[in-house]
Structure 1
Amino acid sequence: MKPLQGVKVIDLTRILSGPYCTMLLADMGADVVKIEPPQGDDTRTWGPPFIETESAYFLSVNRNKKSFVLNLKTDEGKKILLDLVKSADIVVENFRPGTMKKLGIDYEVLKEVNERIILASIFGFGQSGPYAMRPGYDVIAQGMGGLMSVTGEPGRPPVKGGFSLADVGTGMWALTGILLALQARNLTNKGQWVDANLLDTMVSWQTYFAGNYFATGKNPKPLGGAHPNICPYQVFEANDGYFNIAVGNDSLWKKFCQVLNLDIANDPKFATNPLRVENRDELIPILESIFKTESFKHWVDLLDQAGIPAGPVYELSDLFVDPHIIEREMITTMEHPSFGEIKQVGIPIKLSETPGELVSPPPLLGQHTYEILQDLGYNDDEIHELYEKGVTVGEVVKQHV
């Protein structure tokens, strides 16, 4: 058994935030039907790199789903979608606000068809507010949400996070909202509308940066790899690469100085964390000169043996051969029907009794259209008519009709 076994999800999303959310649902056993327009999810063509006909981008966030091609701009397409909604639990979409209403499939319509339905909407700025209709992208949210103001090196231009933090984070918040709505439905027998957006995600993650600002009225500044409230807690350069240390309290500081043979543990400028933060400009150069004398492995091993948090800054080629990552099944493989074995990032949530599972590879465009229409009661003649009208497309459908 899987925790979301029996839960039916209609996935109207594309690109990243929505597909990531629905992949997490699918990994935990939900039956996810990915509704794609006739041309498919945009990311099917986002490359290179490609693995034969499919982009690596699309393959990264669409496993364990069924692909159903449906033209929602047609009356027949809308009818089929609403027929699916009757027996579904969740609909996830990331259209611009108002698009669902324009298509005639907004929350009010879905609720009339199925009062238990949970609609999760993911967008850049949410379903309300002065910016609601603005197009939202990850980099825009990272900038407006304050992340880029504190990322990067002092005195240099703002830098975004290396991967799509706003998109992926919003997919996670949407998942949280969906699970909360499912629990609420257990109590009320009614669904509800979940509103998750990229800007709110960035704002919610400000945590201690916001707390510091509220306390002082001063804008935080970029510190490179450092922490605004703890020192030393940052990235350092060894003679062959980079590594991080996290000296999170004064007890660790004393151990740290002992391991490095430093006689500054009780120095009145460095004895406590507030003093080290205040005098970081003097402390950090001392440490930098020491760390450049040996390899990052030397320092990580030495500090780890002393119980001081430390770790290398990995390239992905390092990360995916790390024995810990392998044992934790955070890299795994699946068989794709067209081109054999593909690699996938594993499931981060480990459940002892009802674990998630990688069951099926990212689907071909329209791969499951025929069987889903059959399940809805359509015969071959009716499916052929839908194909001829352009309500649905796909080689798989063509082969059957």
Structure 2
Amino acid sequence: MPLDAIRVLDLSRLLPGPYCSMILADFGAEVIKVEEPTMGDYARAEYPKIGKDSAMFHSLNRSKKSICLNLKTAEDQAKFLQLVKDSDVVIESFRPGVMKRLGLDYETLNEINPGLVYCAITGYGQDGPYAEMPGHDVNFIGYAGLLNMMGEPNGAPQIPATQIADIGGGAYPAAMGILLALFERQKTGKGQMVDISMLDGAISWMPTFFPNYLASRKQAKRGELDLSGKLACYAVYETKDQRWLSVGALEPKFWKEFCQVIGKEEFIAKIRAPIDVQTQMKKEIQEILLQKTSENWMEIFETIQACVSPILSFDEMVNDPHVKARGMIQEIDDPELGVIQHVNTPIKLSRTPAKITGAAPSLGEHTETIFQKH
């Protein structure tokens, strides 16, 4: 597998760091979770449970190993430093300064292992006036200006259902940064620090509208972005059975097909009309789509290329034939826990694909075996 010679020491917990190391583990890295002895990763305590640990914990920590160390003690610090000598990557998600106070910061670890890639995932990065502030996803996307653009016109900002800054702004840039540093190490033999700020990442998630502000210094209002509520051709509509359809007829050829199907050819030329016209078109389209069920409309649009699709529940999504064909829900059979379903990685490699090799470890499951080798 691509990373089967890479050892990762993961000190992070909850979502961004474990998601990052999950990606690395899926592609063969030996990921050792370093957990404090009494509680371990806080995510273990969430509900619902699979065995003793939460479903979320199992999903994020599959194929990993777990050891328990109290990094506030000199004895366990020494054990950790011994592991660092033979490792390639360290991931941590403490606030800046915590690892330095423990005597385990990048500069210290780099002296022990000059080839080490050290990745710190934090809310605001290693420097700047907010560096030591606490925060969560809603704070990071709030500072980024992203949350301000979510929601209906004249309404409150709408918190997204998934954690954009944690995953898209934290976990994925961290995984990419680690791989870039490992790639560069092949040329120089030297590791480096990977500084990941979830606020930075959230700012980078706005390429379709933020550059417009940088060019004009004019900010669109909430609900007035083309792809976030303004356009009638890119919206969600309710159907007769109280289901919803997503319409993504953004290009003229798709919009033309859509308008012809619903009998509104006069809308074709208005695809980029002003917002007041868009609002009126949405109102009329909604009245039409309420006349049939979601299933009826999908039968009508089945052979029409108009970018119309149903909005699925999780029950429907996991049984969708395309999701099944792409193998996005994988099963592993654990001898103690039985069959566990996992979300597969979205990264598909043709020759060396990802593989889920086992369930998440119990707290400290591998402490003895790991240190017997050292």
TM-score with structure 2 length normalisation? 0.94
Greater CA drift, 296-305 or 142-151: 296-305
User: Could you tell me which residue of structure 1 aligns to residue 183 of structure 2?
Assistant: 183
Give, in angstroms, the shift of residue 188 of structure 1.
1.5
Distance 1:113 1:122 in 2: 22
The total of aligned residue pairs comes to 370
Q: Residue 336 in 1 paired to residue 334 in 2? A: yes
Change (3 A) 1:179 1:277: farther
Residue deviations 1:157-197 (CA, integer Å, cap 9, x gap) = 22211021211111001001111111111121111100112
DSSP-derived class of the 1:279 partner: helix
Give, in angstroms, the shift of residue 105 of structure 1.
0.7
Alpha carbons 1:122, 1:174 under 8 Å: kept: yes
Distance 1:300 1:212 in 2: 36
Alpha carbons 2:255, 2:268 under 8 Å: kept: no
Alpha carbons 1:147, 1:160 under 8 Å: kept: no
RMSD: 1.8
User: Could you tell me which residue of structure 1 aligns to residue 23 of structure 2?
Assistant: 24
Work out which of the residue numbers 301, 305, 312 in structure 2 matches 1:314: 312
Change (3 A) 1:113 1:101: same
Alpha carbons 1:243, 1:310 under 8 Å: kept: yes
Kindly report which structure 2 residues correspond to 1:80-95, keeping only aligned pairs within 5 A, or say none.
80-95=79-94
Alpha carbons 1:14, 1:42 under 8 Å: kept: yes
Give, in angstroms, the shift of residue 337 of structure 1.
4.4
Give, in angstroms, the shift of residue 19 of structure 1.
0.3
Change (3 A) 1:93 1:337: farther
Alpha carbons 1:26, 1:65 under 8 Å: kept: yes
DSSP-derived class of the 2:333 partner: strand
Greater CA drift, 167-176 or 213-222: 213-222
User: Could you tell me which residue of structure 2 aligns to residue 101 of structure 1?
Assistant: 100
User: Could you tell me which residue of structure 1 aligns to residue 244 of structure 2?
Assistant: 242
Distance 2:34 2:355 in 1: 22
Kindly report which structure 2 residues correspond to 1:76-225, keeping only aligned pairs within 5 A, or say none.
76-169=75-168, 170-223=170-223
Change (3 A) 1:225 1:57: farther
Q: Residue 35 in 1 paired to residue 34 in 2? A: yes
User: Could you tell me which residue of structure 1 aligns to residue 258 of structure 2?
Assistant: 256
Distance 1:35 1:227 in 2: 42
Alpha carbons 2:141, 2:147 under 8 Å: kept: yes
Give, in angstroms, the shift of residue 117 of structure 1.
0.4
Give, in angstroms, the shift of residue 137 of structure 1.
1.2
DSSP-derived class of the 2:266 partner: coil
Distance 2:122 2:322 in 1: 35
Q: Residue 291 in 1 paired to residue 292 in 2? A: no
User: Could you tell me which residue of structure 2 aligns to residue 232 of structure 1?
Assistant: 233
Kindly report which structure 2 residues correspond to 1:55-70, keeping only aligned pairs within 5 A, or say none.
55-70=54-69
Change (3 A) 1:159 1:266: closer
DSSP-derived class of the 2:128 partner: coil
DSSP-derived class of the 1:264 partner: helix
Residue deviations 1:285-336 (CA, integer Å, cap 9, x gap) = 1211111111123323433411111221122122111121122111122233
DSSP-derived class of the 2:208 partner: helix
Residue deviations 1:175-223 (CA, integer Å, cap 9, x gap) = 0111111111112111110011211111011112212323443333332
Give, in angstroms, the shift of residue 261 of structure 1.
2.3
Residue deviations 1:99-127 (CA, integer Å, cap 9, x gap) = 11011110111110111100000011000
Alpha carbons 2:166, 2:198 under 8 Å: kept: yes
Give, in angstroms, the shift of residue 278 of structure 1.
6.5
User: Could you tell me which residue of structure 1 aligns to residue 373 of structure 2?
Assistant: 375
Distance 2:48 2:312 in 1: 22
User: Could you tell me which residue of structure 1 aligns to residue 324 of structure 2?
Assistant: 326
Distance 1:116 1:21 in 2: 20
| Aligned-pair identity (%) | 39
Distance 1:6 1:358 in 2: 17
Give, in angstroms, the shift of residue 59 of structure 1.
1.4
Greater CA drift, 109-118 or 55-64: 55-64
Alpha carbons 1:226, 1:235 under 8 Å: kept: no
For structure 2, the residue ranges without an aligned partner over 5 or more in a row are none
Alpha carbons 1:94, 1:122 under 8 Å: kept: yes
Change (3 A) 1:198 1:357: same
Distance 1:263 1:167 in 2: 43
Distance 1:216 1:286 in 2: 33
Distance 1:68 1:14 in 2: 13
Alpha carbons 1:225, 1:235 under 8 Å: kept: no
Change (3 A) 1:342 1:63: same
Give, in angstroms, the shift of residue 275 of structure 1.
2.3
Residue deviations 1:8-53 (CA, integer Å, cap 9, x gap) = 111111010000000000000001111000121111112x322232
DSSP-derived class of the 1:364 partner: coil
